[in-house]
Amino acid sequence: MALEDAKTQIDQAFTRAELRGLSFENAFGGATSFLRRRYSKDLSGAQIAVTGIPFDQAVTNRPGTRFGPRAIREASSLQAFDAPYGWGYDPLSELAIVDYGDMAFDYANVPEVPARIEAHLAGIINAGVVPITLGGDHFITLPILRAVAAKHGPVALIQIDAHSDTWADDDMSRIDHGTFLYKALKLGLVAPETTVSVGIRTDNPDTLGVTILDAPSVHQDGIDATLARIRDVVGDRPTYVTFDIDGLDPAFAPGTGTPVWGGLASWQAAALLRGLKGINMIGGDVVEVSPPYDPTGVTAVAGAHVATELLALAGWGLRKEGV
């Protein structure tokens, strides 16, 4: 930490002059944005936009993920002083990143939310900016994928999750966090041959042809073998990454709606995300962080690190393209 800067820097979420650079305001003070990036609705000059979707209507068990974006931002405020570990570059200093804030919506008009999410993400994507989204329950990934596919066509998908989310549901107007992938496949937003689900540990008799790398296989086969299989599936196609925090074992992320034991350890998740360096990532999200069920805050810490890794992963591709 640059102590001379800590004496003068404060509220970098609003006062930051540049979109690039580390922050050195006191870790315990200041307005909290994601990684202390500047809040802005102006995307001109931005390369990556972090945005929150505080929506949790669709959960099957414990609610509370509407508080996820706020908790993740607060947890991330401790990570703004250094480059993310293990990447070999500093995305905070090299890339123009904004915190785009949360999506506004009428909490009492749930049927309009899917279209609002799609429009919100389309505004970021059509500006040529890579979105990193903080959820929110896992339903939000479906309208996000609608916006992504409208720009890029059907994309490859990497899902890290305890659940396959391919339970049959042909009512496309129904809002459910457990069927987002079923509907994305049926709508042609993603294709089964270019979709891989990692960390699964709940039974579903019909995975619709998706490649399943369940949690036991990750534990037994190891990181390198798992990464090789993921790369075989997605190749160099435009790829979206969705990370349900319950992909982690409850020991590492107890604050979620549907925890399942036997999951990934945090070190495994970090190694997988860093090991994907070089994929053609065009967006990502972390979902299902439910702070009310974790008074320690460790789940929000995990969510903040996942979002930072997604940001660094997307940034690696931007550096390669010279954007």
Per-residue pLDDT of the chain (323 residues; tens, 9 = 90+): 566 777 888 999 999 999 999 999 988 999 999 999 999 999 999 999 999 999 998 788 899 999 999 999 999 999 999 999 999 999 999 999 999 999 999 999 999 999 999 999 999 999 999 999 999 999 999 999 999 999 999 999 999 999 999 999 999 999 999 999 999 999 999 999 999 999 999 998 888 999 999 999 999 999 999 999 999 999 999 999 999 999 999 999 999 999 999 999 999 999 999 999 999 999 999 999 999 999 999 999 999 999 999 999 999 989 866 65
Residue 287: its pLDDT value, please? 98
List, as one string, the DSSP characters of 193-256.
Answer: EEEEEES--S--S--TT-EEE-HHHHHHH-HHHHHHHHHHHHTTS-EEEEEEGGGB-TTT---S
Examine residue 300 and state whether it is found in any structural domain, yes or no.
yes
Examine residue 163 and state whether it is found in any structural domain, yes or no.
yes
What CATH number is associated with residue 237? 3.40.800.10
Examine residue 29 and state whether it is found in any structural domain, yes or no.
no
Side-by-side strand order, sheet with 239-244: 38-39, 97-102, 48-53, 130-135, 281-287, 239-244, 155-160, 190-198, 211-213
Examine residue 117 and state whether it is found in any structural domain, yes or no.
yes
Q: How many domains does the chain contain in total?
A: 1
* Residue 159, token pair as written in the block: 């899902």
Domain that holds residue 160: 45-321
Examine residue 23 and state whether it is found in any structural domain, yes or no.
no
Examine residue 6 and state whether it is found in any structural domain, yes or no.
no
Residue 319: its pLDDT value, please? 81
What is the dihedral sign for C-alpha 279, 211, 202, 157? positive
| Element (DSSP H or E) covering residue 119 | helix 113-125
Which residues fall in the annotated binding site for Mn(2+)? Answer: 138, 161, 163, 165, 244, 246
Q: How far is CA 271 from CA 23, 158, 160, 218, 278, in A?
A: 26, 15, 13, 12, 14
Residue 293: its pLDDT value, please? 96
> Which residues, 6 or more positions from 239, have their beta carbon under 8 angstroms from its beta carbon?
155, 156, 157, 158, 279, 280, 281, 282
Which residues fall in the annotated binding site? Answer: 138, 161, 163, 165, 244, 246
Examine residue 234 and state whether it is found in any structural domain, yes or no.
yes
Examine residue 230 and state whether it is found in any structural domain, yes or no.
yes
